[in-house]
Amino acid sequence: MMPTRRGDGRIAFAYLAPALLVLAGLMGYPVYQLVLISLFDYGQEQVSGGAPLAFLGLGNYTKLLSQDRFWAVLGQTVGFAAVCVAGTLLVGAVLAVLATRVRTWARMTLFLAALGAWATPAVAGSTIWLFLFDANFGFVNEVLGTTGFSWTYDKWVAFGLVAAQVVWCSFPFVMVTLYAGIKSIPGEVLEAAALDGASTVKTATSVILPLLRPLLIVVTIQSVIWDFKVFTQIYVMTGGGGIAGRNLVLNVYAYQQAFAASEYGLGAAIGVVMTVLLLAVTVGYLRALRRSGEVL
Amino acid sequence: MTPRGVAEAVTVVIAAVVAFPLYWMVLTALKPEAEVISADPRPWTLAPTLDSFVRALTVQSFGRYLLNSIVVAVVVVLLSLLISFLAATALTRFRFRGRTTLLIMLLVVQMVPVEALTIPLFFLMRSVRDVAPVFGLNHLGSLVLVHLAFSLPFAIWMLRGFVAAVPAELEEAATLDGASRFRFLWQVLFPLVAPGLVATSVLSFIHAWNDFLFAKTFIISAAENQTLPLALQVFVKPDQNDWGAIMAGSTLMTIPVLVFFILVQRRLVAGLAGAVKS
């Protein structure tokens, strides 16, 4: 931190002004609008100006919360995100450890493959996976000898396929970050542990893990946030939410309500509910950062 | 085999599995059409052809969409670098009232689901159209604005650590040498936080490049302003997908990001480690 000088506040404000302008206009104002829209009966007629806006108060919310559909989608969203987060962290962590145990050429091979998966745009990645698992022309069915089997028909099989795709494209971030974290542990610390006669397991659990804890918290929470908001994969792989909307998650549900069913008010209400849920996660994140010594 | 030999063999097998979808993408793009829709797909082809690429580029004018995607992503990256660098500097090197609140706000806005915000943003862009058409619906400017807004909080948060890591003594020395605050900012600080800038630009680039939702929602009636992810969907048909063209398009879409990643990978790893450590 620099020593305070005269005019600091003004200069700081000048530096911040562009960011504040963009964020206030394109995040702050829309968030306010989102809440506002969620309080109205906002449909196609209101959008085109054919009918006046009707204030519903919490009407959209009571309608939403009384729907079995909403609770089912909420449950699916949480379950789906949990599976994706667990898979991503497990694969990422195991491969990060593996990467520290092999010579450079093997590590580079793995990292290049992972960079490839990471770099693949979600739409392209989703489409590739769909084709690999295609009922008639898919390589996977050919190998398994299950030609004709549709991986996107059964609700849970379809969710599983999408989750696998999500793990495929998001484990590289976890792997690279944890690998960098493990490598940044000073050699002396590990040597000291070895001199004290600590076993590999003991070193891992009482030396490496505590040092990696802040990092693990960051990647976990980031994954939670990302996977709770998965949109493209579900949208592309299940054709907009699956047969009869069986594979909907909150995000896609909100979008469909607004733009496909022209129920903008209801869609906005789903968005607000999601934001509140994610804010709860954020509070947890901030607490974890504080506890791990991060100074704001 | 030695334990390390076993670990290396396992690593290579895993790398092959991870890379397989990409191999399949390129292979399918190069296969003749009859092989693509064969009920007995083989992991190689004896008759590679560029037909699918030609179809993707001509039928769907991928070239135009590619250019649009590049324009949006490059403008977003440049603007976001500039704005986030200034903001990160303000947040780490100055003390002022409301600093902590601002930092928390930056974290909080990252939690707002983008998909829900498309609803108000759609209405906002519709009204912007009447005032400044380039930033309204159907124009690339609308995409630039929203991607800029969504990549800024993360970019600022990430750069903060890098700016903070530059010792204050450097600034004092520069000031003693008579450098203005502005000169210090661009000639000393900016180059020093390069790894952070690289990591930040990669993330902003991917963000803008991968976007499917905003392009789908905002560019409704101006096909010439579509971006790549949307163009792919045109080959998806209810009766019979043109898988060859889809995979050729996916390949064209993935290559720029992959090249970018490979160019910066060392700095990216350093950047991620730095951001997390700080």
pLDDT tens track for B220-258: 888 888 888 888 877 777 667 889 999 999 999 898 888
Phi, psi of A40 (to 5 degrees): -115, 160
Could you count the other beta carbons within 10 Å of the beta carbon of residue A197? 7
Residue A93 has pLDDT above 90, yes or no: yes
In which element (H, E) is residue A101 found?
A: none
Judge: B86–A12 Cβ closer than 8 Å, yes or no: no
Interface test with B, best of A88, A90, A127 (most B CBs within 10 A): A127
Q: How far is CA B45 from the centre of its chain?
A: 32
Q: Is B23 exposed, middle or buried (0-12, 13-18, 19+ CB in 10 A)?
A: middle
Could you count the other beta carbons within 10 Å of the beta carbon of residue A73? 23
pLDDT band per the 50, 70, 90 thresholds, residue A52: confident
Domains of chain A: 18-292 (1.10.3720.10)
Q: In Å, how far is B96's CA from the nearest CA of chain A?
A: 6
Average pLDDT over residues B123-149: 90
Tell me what percent of the residues of chain A surpass a pLDDT of 70. Answer: 94
Mapped onto helix, strand or coil, the DSSP state of residue A54 is: strand
Per-residue confidence (pLDDT) for residue A4, from 0 to 100: 54
Average pLDDT over residues B103-113: 81
Q: Are residues B263 and B255 in contact, defined by beta-carbon separation less than 8 angstroms? A: no
In single-letter form, the type of residue at position A170 comes to S
Mean pLDDT of chain B: 86
Q: Are residues B52 and B244 in contact, defined by beta-carbon separation less than 8 angstroms? A: yes
Residue with tokens 């962290």: A89
Q: What is the pLDDT of residues A248-282, one digit of tens each?
A: 999 899 998 888 888 898 999 999 999 888 888 77
How is residue B113 written in tokens?
């689901």
pLDDT winner (highest mean) among A202-216, B130-144, B171-185 = B130-144
Find chain A residues with C-beta within 8 A of B276's C-beta.
177, 180-181, 214-215, 218
Find chain A residues with C-beta within 8 A of B146's C-beta.
26
Interface test with A, best of B94, B144, B147, B258 (most A CBs within 10 A): B94
In single-letter form, the type of residue at position B69 comes to S
Find chain A residues with C-beta within 8 A of B212's C-beta.
122-123, 231-232, 235-236
Interface test with A, best of B60, B131, B276 (most A CBs within 10 A): B276
Q: What is the pLDDT of residues A162-210, one digit of tens each?
A: 999 999 999 998 998 899 888 888 888 888 888 888 887 888 788 888 8
Report how far residue B102's alpha carbon sits from residue A17's, in angstroms, rounded to the nearest whole number: 12
Mean pLDDT of chain A: 87
Q: In Å, how far is A103's CA from the nearest CA of chain B?
A: 8
Mapped onto helix, strand or coil, the DSSP state of residue A293 is: coil
Find chain A residues with C-beta within 8 A of B233's C-beta.
123, 236
Nearest CA in chain A to B152: A19
Judge: B213–A232 Cβ closer than 8 Å, yes or no: yes
Find chain B residues with C-beta within 8 A of A231's C-beta.
114-115, 212-213
Q: In Å, how far is A159's CA from the nearest CA of chain B?
A: 19
Phi, psi of A161 (to 5 degrees): -65, -45
Nearest CA in chain B to A91: B14
Judge: A252–B115 Cβ closer than 8 Å, yes or no: yes
Q: In terms of residues, how long is chain A? A: 296
Contacts 24+ apart (CB under 8 A), B224-227: B224/B64, B225/B68, B225/B138, B225/B139, B225/B140, B226/B65, B226/B68, B227/B65, B227/B68, B227/B69, B227/B72, B227/B143
Find chain B residues with C-beta within 8 A of A164's C-beta.
none
Residue with tokens 């002396």: A188
Q: What is the pLDDT of residues B18-30, one digit of tens each?
A: 999 999 999 999 9
Of B7, B87, B236, the CB nearest to A98: B7
**Kindly report the CA angle at B145 between B142 and B146, in degrees rounded to 5?**
90
Judge: B21–A95 Cβ closer than 8 Å, yes or no: no
List, as one string, the DSSP characters of B225-266.
G--HHHHHHTT--SS---HHHHHHHHHHHHHHHHHHHHHHHH
Find chain A residues with C-beta within 8 A of B40's C-beta.
142
Nearest CA in chain B to A178: B273
Biggest alpha carbon–alpha carbon distance for chain B: 75
Residue with tokens 């609140």: B101
Judge: B22–A138 Cβ closer than 8 Å, yes or no: no
Interface test with A, best of B111, B188, B239, B241 (most A CBs within 10 A): B111
Report how far residue B197's alpha carbon sits from residue A125's, in angstroms, rounded to the nearest whole number: 27
Judge: B124–A251 Cβ closer than 8 Å, yes or no: no
Of A119, A270, A275, the CB nearest to B258: A119
Judge: B18–A116 Cβ closer than 8 Å, yes or no: yes
Find chain A residues with C-beta within 8 A of B87's C-beta.
15-16, 18-19
Residue B14 has pLDDT above 90, yes or no: yes
Report how far residue A286's alpha carbon sits from residue A90's, in angstroms, rounded to the nearest whole number: 23
Of A103, A116, A268, the CB nearest to B116: A268
Judge: B113–A119 Cβ closer than 8 Å, yes or no: no
Report how far residue B247's alpha carbon sits from residue A129's, in angstroms, rounded to the nearest whole number: 11
Residue B153 has pLDDT above 70, yes or no: yes
Judge: A121–B253 Cβ closer than 8 Å, yes or no: yes
Per-residue confidence (pLDDT) for residue B275, from 0 to 100: 58
How is residue B234 written in tokens?
């045109």
Q: What is the pLDDT of residues A202-239, one digit of tens each?
A: 887 888 888 887 788 778 878 888 898 888 999 989 88
Find chain B residues with C-beta within 8 A of A271's C-beta.
113, 115-117, 119
Contacts of B210 (CB under 8 A, 6+ apart): A121, A122, A123, A232, B229
Of B107, B149, B243, the CB nearest to A27: B149
Distances in whole angstroms, Cα of residue A56 to Cα of each of A33, A259, A276, B152: 15, 20, 20, 34
A295 Ramachandran zone, left/alpha/beta (phi>0; psi -120 to 50)? beta
pLDDT band per the 50, 70, 90 thresholds, residue A1: very low
pLDDT band per the 50, 70, 90 thresholds, residue A294: low
Contacts 24+ apart (CB under 8 A), B233-239: B233/A123, B233/A236, B234/B60, B235/B56, B235/B60, B236/A127
Judge: A23–B232 Cβ closer than 8 Å, yes or no: no
pLDDT band per the 50, 70, 90 thresholds, residue A83: very high
Find chain B residues with C-beta within 8 A of A237's C-beta.
none
Report how far residue A68's alpha carbon sits from residue A66's, in angstroms, rounded to the nearest whole number: 6
Interface test with B, best of A123, A178, A255, A262 (most B CBs within 10 A): A123
Report how far residue B46's alpha carbon sits from residue B84's, in angstroms, rounded to the nearest whole number: 50
Per-residue confidence (pLDDT) for residue A86, from 0 to 100: 96
Q: What is the pLDDT of residues B62-91, one digit of tens each?
A: 788 889 999 999 999 999 999 999 999 998
In single-letter form, the type of residue at position B32 comes to P
Judge: B276–A30 Cβ closer than 8 Å, yes or no: no
Q: How far is CA B103 from the centre of its chain?
A: 23
Per-residue confidence (pLDDT) for residue A280, from 0 to 100: 85
Judge: A281–B111 Cβ closer than 8 Å, yes or no: yes
Judge: A33–B146 Cβ closer than 8 Å, yes or no: no
